[in-house]
Amino acid sequence: MKVALFGRNGQLGSSLLAILGDSMEVRAYGRNEVDLADGTRLRETLLRQEPRIIINAAAYTAVDRAESDADTARRVNGEAPAVMARVAGEIGALLIHYSTDYVFDGTAHEPYTEDSPTAPLGVYGKTKLAGEEAIRAAAGAYLIVRTCWLYSNHGRNFLKTMLRLADERDELRVVNDQIGSPTYARLVAEASVQMLSAMSDGQGFRTERSGVYHMACQGSVSWHGFAQRIIDLSGRAARVRVTPISTAQYPTPARRPAYSVLSCDKLERGFGIRLPEWGAALRQCLADDHGLA
Ligand SMILES: NC(=O)c1ccc[n+]([C@@H]2O[C@H](COP(=O)([O-])OP(=O)(O)OC[C@H]3O[C@@H](n4cnc5c(N)ncnc54)[C@H](OP(=O)(O)O)[C@@H]3O)[C@@H](O)[C@H]2O)c1
């Protein structure tokens, strides 16, 4: 089965490549091979390869930088998925695309479902939502997987930042009024591969299963609580203090949702998949790798 994978160097893309590389004929693209801001080149690449499955794990994920670079964010997060969806329709491929909890405004008090109204607060969320809408409009076989607070042993993420800072400082000041579900990227990659197999009916794809699905680790916590658990589990608690602060004390260019917990019931009903509780997943991540390079 030919697969085109975008985002090969990212947290999720590299996990997907590690899993799929053995069993499928994967052509993996990083920014150097195909810049997703260039829709023409993206289209040509896909038409030349004619994959059966297109996986888009690439995105403009720099949430704060997007506020001052909206045009690039729009092209990468909004227009590139539209190109992928159109080509997927033309060649009969399945598109799996990733989106974010940041499509919500964070004013809810219970987990967001796939049908909850979207209202992104910043450029990143708005452009990711535009990507989702373009895929839905293209009417091919697709899966849009919205995930949340991704981390892994690879790439740039909160887990690695906390571990690095903990080696440099004796106090970490972390916001305690944004609540979400930290999610280990490797688990999302594994579950995505399960979804891909379940989408195939031997000949084609089960288009009736196309749709948006929420996929995150169970449970929820603040960034402060997540940081504290990282420090505890990594054996640094005796040396490093984790101090709660408010979002107002840590101003950033982009506003972030105060609450962005995702209900993952639809994923469980449709595909029988449920990710573990976030603390268990964090333990697994810390145990998984041979170091945190
Ligand atoms: N990270 C999170 O907390 C989070 C939360 C919710 C949803 N998501 C979604 O989950 C998906 C995967 O996120 P992730 O954390 O794995 O992202 P990531 O580690 O930041 O990786 C994103 C990848 O996209 C590539 N990319 C960026 N601009 C590009 C361009 N113009 N052309 C080609 N490639 C480009 C980057 O390439 P370079 O390596 O060259 O920069 C990078 O490898 C994304 O759709 C993201 O929106 C992420």
pLDDT category of residue 292 using cuts at 50, 70 and 90: very low
| Range 238-266 average pLDDT | 95
Do residues 140 and 89 touch, judged by C-beta distance below 8 A? yes
Active site residues: 124
Q: For residue 27, what is the domain's CATH number? A: 3.40.50.720
**190 domain-assigned:** yes
Backbone angles phi, psi at 140, to 5 degrees: -95, -170
Backbone angles phi, psi at 242, to 5 degrees: -110, 110
Do residues 157 and 150 touch, judged by C-beta distance below 8 A? yes
DSSP letter string, 132-197: HHHHHHH-SEEEEEEE-SEE-SSSS-HHHHHHHHHHH-SEEEEESS-EE--EEHHHHHHHHHHHHH
Q: Measured in whole angstroms, how far is the alpha carbon of residue 291 from the centre of its chain?
A: 23
Using CA positions, which residue lies closest to atom 25 of ligand 1?
58
The CB of 7 under 6 Å from ligand 1? The reply is yes
The amino acid that residue 151 corresponds to is Y
**205 domain-assigned:** yes
Distance 85 CA to ligand 1 centre (A): 18
Do residues 220 and 181 touch, judged by C-beta distance below 8 A? yes
Using CA positions, which residue lies closest to atom 24 of ligand 1?
58
Q: Which residues pair with 27 in a beta bridge?
A: 4
| Range 116-144 average pLDDT | 96
Return the exposure string of 153-190: e unless at least 16 CB atoms fall within 10 Å of the residue's CB, then b: bbbebbbbebeebbeeeeebbbbbbbbbbbbbbbbbbe
The CB of 11 under 6 Å from ligand 1? The reply is yes
Under DSSP, the state recorded for 249 is G
Q: Which residues pair with 54 in a beta bridge?
A: 4, 95
Q: What rounded mean pLDDT belongs to the chain?
A: 95
**141 domain-assigned:** yes
pLDDT at residue 24, rounded to an integer: 85
| Residues contacting 202, CB < 8 A, separation 6+ | none
The CB of 9 under 6 Å from ligand 1? The reply is yes
The amino acid that residue 206 corresponds to is R
Using CA positions, which residue lies closest to atom 17 of ligand 1?
10
Which atom of ligand 1 is nearest to 61's Cα?
20
**192 domain-assigned:** yes
| Rounded distance between C-alpha atoms, residue 131 and residue 124, angstroms | 11
pLDDT at residue 160, rounded to an integer: 95
Number of domains forming the structure of the chain: 1
Of 155 and 68, the structure prediction assigns the larger pLDDT to 68
The pLDDT of residue 118 is above 50: yes
Least confident of 204-208, 229-233, 258-262: 204-208
pLDDT at residue 293, rounded to an integer: 37
pLDDT at residue 264, rounded to an integer: 98
Distance 13 CA to ligand 1 centre (A): 8
Best residue for ligand 1 mutational test, from 61, 79, 124, 162 (most atoms within 8 Å of Cβ) = 61
pLDDT category of residue 183 using cuts at 50, 70 and 90: very high
| Rounded distance between C-alpha atoms, residue 56 and residue 36, angstroms | 10
The CB of 100 under 6 Å from ligand 1? The reply is yes
Distance 199 CA to ligand 1 centre (A): 24
| Rounded distance between C-alpha atoms, residue 104 and residue 125, angstroms | 8
**17 domain-assigned:** yes
What token pair was written down for 291? Answer: 């170091």
What would the pLDDT profile of 84-114 be if each residue is shown by its tens digit?
999 999 999 999 999 999 999 999 999 999 9
pTM here? 0.95
**239 domain-assigned:** no
pLDDT at residue 139, rounded to an integer: 77
Helix (H) or strand (E) holding 53: strand 53-56
What token pair was written down for 135? Answer: 């895929």
pLDDT at residue 106, rounded to an integer: 97
Using CA positions, which residue lies closest to atom 19 of ligand 1?
10
**209 domain-assigned:** yes
Q: Range of 188's domain? A: 2-156+182-218+262-276
The CB of 260 under 6 Å from ligand 1? The reply is no
**177 domain-assigned:** no
pLDDT category of residue 291 using cuts at 50, 70 and 90: very low
Distance 241 CA to ligand 1 centre (A): 31
Helix (H) or strand (E) holding 88: helix 80-91
The pLDDT of residue 83 is above 50: yes
Backbone angles phi, psi at 185, to 5 degrees: -60, -35
